Structure 1
């Protein structure tokens, strides 16, 4: 009896804490006079503290909860607003709130001259709420509302500086590429609702087998939102938005929504080998391609953006390995050091008069020691340095690959991507900190504002401890397998190889007399000409074809109607003017008329 009372109290406190968290987030949006940056920062901080309570209760009880609050319709397909607070939603909520709190506080310093700072912070809060709707939804239609919500907010935030042509172009790229994925989502949702007569995720998961086609639609949706290969160009282009937008978009919203969708429906995927193989191959290609592109970029934000794309490929690959828990762990740890890297990049850019080219930085460790130390820490966590956040998940993913029975091609490409991660991270650190300052002498970088340094230090603490914390509290731990020492250390070894190669190349290029732009370097710096093909050549070919088709159509229309009328008119004119008073003409006409009359009388 006492145990049941404790369980009821725990459940009541669990639901109360979650509902309190969500209510706190909606307060600044519902009360107009509280819609300002300072209030939004305070409410996000309170929501972060409150969200820790259900996470601790989850550790204690290790249970999940499904709550139904409102029925939409009672037609042939009943629709209900359903929330599922399982381990994924409950642990993701404090992570996203903590990171958003730091980003909003950084926004106070970074956007201090923007006349619409309060509106910008409200958009960031709406962005977060839409993502939380995705993670807590137990209904595909409800999830789709949050799905479209993050898409709309990303469009508004990426194009925030709408006076710049590049910002508008990047916002349009984001919305168009995501519409391609949304087509797959809508078609899959329609198929599942018609065949399973429900949109509730838990009821769908009870079916023993789902055909390949709707699952491929869900993978297409995830590929669009999480910028997998083929639908990836919008992610580096999104760097035209303000840096706080990039930090929130790449860490805990938008890009991880696609991978989270696959985690949520993974029991459907694990019974279909083709879909798992698709995820595996798509993730392997994405992580390697993005790492190759990152190593040739000079824009600091684009380097970090391609590293996000590479890590998203690694998450997709882990889905293909049939390890959804490990994928979620990597989402959680990746959020901390990726937000840290973007805030550090924003701090450098803002202090260098909006300069984003790493070749025009250098020597920043003297004037901005906190920022440069944290960007080094974030890069080390990204590389998978032992006992930092990325190590606990990235190393586990590579171990799972090494001990699986899958093809060696995916393992080889992932190893290469891991090595390249160390190379471009080292390149970023070297050009921003370790060489002679190359910025203007009139610029005086500093770290005088606490709103600049406090969020960075807070995220740095997360980049150090998040991996250990998540690996200890996550209930569904991956299976521990016996392996050789070389297999166990393979991730660290390839990272070390990439680091050594990067240091050697830095030394060579520093003392090289005549630098040469080789063809492969040009191809990688231009993203393997993907943007030229997709954004120029294909539309140009389509326009040329349409123009030719239009001309052909006009030609046929001209032949069928005007030319035909002209020829008929000419024929009739010649016929009417044929009589010129000749006897032969009269005889011919008489004979033709006579023969016609006889034929008519005979019939």
Structure 2
């Protein structure tokens, strides 16, 4: 079995690279590769780990840089998931992007995006990981700015890459530190985990904050909705945004002994969860709501990393991938059939006109809320139980419970506003075709069954944890409270006239700190520059060194050399007084 897994992984890489040159066959190729990639899972679930290295490409006194793959539980489990989701999204995009003149180029970009993500998850050294890391950044830039005729799309693409560059500084710093003081090879790094300094860890946290859109570097994620919907689905489910959390899960052994790092992850994750969930409740753009929900779920994963539970973070990453991809594809189906209408207030009655999409949307939302026996329940419920049983931080528990209530709120809001009531737009009713429904059907089955399958295949013996019934049912209670609140709010407000948001809602709607980097800092910089160029240059420099300065220098010289001071009144007065005196003296 030792040689089968590396062979399969290399086959997947080579086939994907070949598929880039034949984008019209991409769907079938990825389907085959997905089926092949399922073979090594059983082998790696038994905690076997393989490493595959080529001869060194660059030989240095301290480091040998080579292409090296690590095939452990993380990489072999996540590879089929990434392939499965990309297969569904590429099939969906053949329908969604039919009218686009460059749809083959679009498929190529999606494939390269997938390859760079696979490079990240199989990398065995920091160099290789960095290549994949930058790769997903570049591809997200190209795909978010796909419709580059629109100013908003260009701005969003720039925003994504600039925010990621801020995070990348951290990763570069960590890599440089590890090169000088430890090793950039994963295995050697894990052995030396007692010696790791706080500085490379801060770098890792910064990298994960940028890539996984944690609080403070979050505004690029909702803006990334300017790209086509299949891009949003791929970006938010199994590539790009999960790379940051994946990095922390992969390098968790070097962090878990450091209390500062763990507490930082915990607090950052909890803040992100509640903040993004609160922001999602104030929006009415369907894609932005789902995007902020991604940020919220990533915050939950980060909380788990901070609580020293990387496996749970990984489990939530897996289950989240399926229902998030499905949410985006369902919203894409709505948007495409409502003539590109994204505002949920302009949708309504879609349960009648698009029954299958609406059913899938409902299942995806329930899975996101953590309804029992759907895949989201197995990870979300376990996460909150673990959090409540921990004695680390009660503030985090409270914040996470509020976020759970809010996530139920915005999910219910989407369902009630889009599916119930009466249609609020004139739209053509289309037949829900195979091309659209097949990928959604697959993702729906995965969203329903993935949790049960994971439970059946991994948890052979469960730990008995005794806890009060109220704590055991806390997640479910929070979800039900959220649903009821959302339903009541919807019933009370759907017939009212729209009005301006209050200050708190406006703050969340504007993504709280979105205004600081994008409006306040830019305006302040502009004003300071303006004042420097006008007041400093024109008024001060020109006054002192220009014509007036020249005049001030020349005047004393003129005064020294002559008595003529150009003062006509004085001259006339002196002349008159002198004449009078002379006359008086003459006549006397």
TM-score, normalised to structure 1, is 0.89
Q: What is the CA-CA distance between 1:552 and the residue it aligns to?
A: 5.8
The equivalent of 2:517 in structure 1 is 534
Matches within 5 A, 1:58-457: 58-59=44-45, 61-78=46-63, 79-196=65-182, 198-207=183-192, 208-440=194-426, 443-457=427-441
The equivalent of 1:46 in structure 2 is 32
Contact kept in structure 2, 1:184 and 1:221, CA below 8 Å: yes
Pick from 12, 17, 38 the counterpart of residue 21 of structure 1: 12
Change (3 A) 1:514 1:268: closer
Contact kept in structure 1, 2:375 and 2:448, CA below 8 Å: yes
Matches within 5 A, 1:424-573: 424-440=410-426, 443-474=427-458, 480-510=464-494, 517-528=501-512, 530-551=513-534, 553-554=536-537, 557-558=541-542, 561-562=545-546, 566-573=551-558
Contact kept in structure 1, 2:214 and 2:269, CA below 8 Å: yes
Change (3 A) 1:309 1:569: same
Secondary structure at 2:69's aligned position in 1?
strand
Q: What is the CA-CA distance between 1:445 and the residue it aligns to?
A: 2.4
Secondary structure at 2:148's aligned position in 1?
coil
Change (3 A) 1:471 1:566: farther
Q: Distance in 1 between matches of 2:205 and 2:7?
A: 35
CA deviations on 1:198-256 (whole Å, 9 max, x unpaired) are 21122112221322222111101100100011111110011010000000000000000
Contact kept in structure 1, 2:47 and 2:72, CA below 8 Å: no
Q: Distance in 1 between matches of 2:12 and 2:370?
A: 33
Change (3 A) 1:332 1:476: farther
Q: Distance in 2 between matches of 1:186 and 1:479?
A: 40
Q: Distance in 1 between matches of 2:459 and 2:186?
A: 21
The equivalent of 1:596 in structure 2 is none
The aligned length equals: 561
Change (3 A) 1:333 1:579: closer
Q: What is the CA-CA distance between 1:522 and the residue it aligns to?
A: 2.9
Change (3 A) 1:72 1:475: farther
Secondary structure at 2:137's aligned position in 1?
helix
Q: Distance in 1 between matches of 2:474 and 2:394?
A: 14
Moved more, 12-21 or 313-322: 12-21
Q: Distance in 1 between matches of 2:494 and 2:116?
A: 47
Secondary structure at 1:83's aligned position in 2?
strand
CA deviations on 1:462-519 (whole Å, 9 max, x unpaired) are 0001112223334899855332222221111111111111122222224558967433
Secondary structure at 1:481's aligned position in 2?
coil
Change (3 A) 1:548 1:25: same
Q: What is the CA-CA distance between 1:549 and the residue it aligns to?
A: 3.4
Q: Distance in 1 between matches of 2:452 and 2:48?
A: 22
Q: Runs of 4 or more off by more than 3 Å in structure 1?
A: 471-480, 510-519, 549-553, 555-580
The equivalent of 2:576 in structure 1 is none
Q: Distance in 1 between matches of 2:540 and 2:44?
A: 72
Long gaps (5+) in structure 2: 566-588
Moved more, 50-59 or 338-347: 50-59
TM-score, normalised to structure 2, is 0.91
Q: What is the CA-CA distance between 1:46 and the residue it aligns to?
A: 1.4
Q: Distance in 2 between matches of 1:337 and 1:231?
A: 24
Contact kept in structure 2, 1:388 and 1:463, CA below 8 Å: yes
Contact kept in structure 2, 1:45 and 1:98, CA below 8 Å: yes
Secondary structure at 2:191's aligned position in 1?
coil
Across the aligned residues of Structure 1 and Structure 2, the Cα RMSD in angstroms comes to 2.1
Change (3 A) 1:537 1:27: same
Q: What is the CA-CA distance between 1:120 and the residue it aligns to?
A: 0.2
Secondary structure at 1:67's aligned position in 2?
strand
Moved more, 332-341 or 514-523: 514-523
